[in-house]
Amino acid sequence: MELLIPGLILVALMVYASTRIKRVAAEAFEAETIETAEFSIEKPEGFLNVIRPHDGLALEAYSKDFGSADAADFKAARAEIRIYRNRSLKYAAGAIREAAKVTSETTEVIDGRKYVVFEAEMVERGIGFREIYKLAESGGNVVELKFIVLETLPEAISAGVDAMLSSFTVK
């Protein structure tokens, strides 16, 4: 009997903590606007914004979902934003052309600012990926959004990538 009450209290605390952790984890994958001094982007539901991105990244995010079959070890989509200090758009675009297997290149103008968008192909451990880059120059720096997505994506993830890509603006 003496152990029953402390045991029940312990179980109740564990249930409370577990429920709280699940709720916080679910909230992390909700849609949000990420705004910094250099850029703004809408992160859709189903993507997680890493609080402490790897060195050199201004933003790191990835989809909740993984690939299937041979690609089960890979996130379906990953996004990174890098800021290249003291670089021109021409220089950064040239570096992508040299380093990636570019399949398409387009330019667009949003609020008077020129953006360059590249699509490229890559293979990692025998799995095909698409890389999508969107770059713009601001104040002598280049801000680069880069997606790495599986060649075959579920529609919901593809829509999320498109939403992030179209919402990305450089200040």
Q: What is the mean pLDDT of each run of 10 residues along the chain (171 residues)?
A: 73 75 71 94 93 91 92 95 96 96 96 96 94 96 97 90 96 94
Retrieve residue 91's tokens. Answer: 């220089």
Helices (H) and strands (E) in the chain, counts: 3, 10
Contact (Cβ atoms closer than 8 angstroms) between residue 90 and residue 132? no
According to DSSP, the β-strands at 47-49 and 141-150 are: unpaired
Query: Which amino acid is it at 163?
Result: A
Q: What's the one-letter identity of residue 132?
A: I
The C-alpha atoms of residue 88 and residue 142 are separated, in whole angstroms, by 6
pTM of the predicted model as reported, rounded to 2 decimal places: 0.84
Fold topology of 33-170: Protein Transport Mog1p; Chain A (3.40.1000)
